[in-house]
Amino acid sequence: MSRNLLFRTAQSTLRQSFYKPSSSSPQIPFLRQFHITSPRMTVHTYDSADAFKKAVQDNKVVLLDCFATWCGPCKAIAPILTKHSNDEKFKDVHFAKIDVDDLPELAQELGITAMPTFLLFKDGELTPAEKLVGANPNALVKLLETNAPAAA
C-alpha cells in the first residue's frame, strides 16, 4: 500500500469518527456541521406532463427550468436556481424543472428549442407569460424580481 493511500485512509477514518460520532459517544453541539432545519423551498422536478400542468394550475407563479442532463450551461445554472428557490423574496414562486429528454412531448408543446430555457407561468395559465433562453443569472434574477407575487 502506498504511503499516500495509507495517509488518506487514516485521514478519512479520523474525519468520520470526528464528524460522525458513534452512538456511545456524546454528541457535542459545536461540532455539528449542518443546520437542523432544511430549506423551506426547493426546486421540484416533474416526471410527467400531467403533474407539471397540475402544479401550474395550483400555484400563482411557476418558474420552469427546461434542462437536459448532458447540457453544460444547465448544470452551471442549476445551483443558482436552487439558491433563488431558498431566497425569502421569491418564497411565493414555485420552482419547477423538467428534463426535455424525459418529456419530449411537453418540451415540444412548450416550444423548447434550446437549453436551458426558463418559462414563467402566472395565475394557472398553461401558456407561458415570459420566456428566457440561456444560462444568464442576471436575467434570471430580473425575471424573478419582476414577476414574484411579493414584488408585483
Q: pLDDT tens for residues 119-138?
A: 999 999 999 999 999 999 99
Q: Quote the pLDDT of residue 4.
A: 55
The residues annotated as belonging to the active site are 71, 74
pLDDT value at 11 more than 80 = no
C-alpha cell at 38: 432544511
Mean pLDDT of 104-133: 96
pLDDT at 86 over 60: yes
* Contact by Cβ (8 Å): 115, 77: no
What residues contact residue 112 under an 8 Å CB cut-off, 6+ apart? 66, 100
Inform me whether the pLDDT recorded for 67 exceeds 80: yes
For the chain, the average pLDDT equals: 82
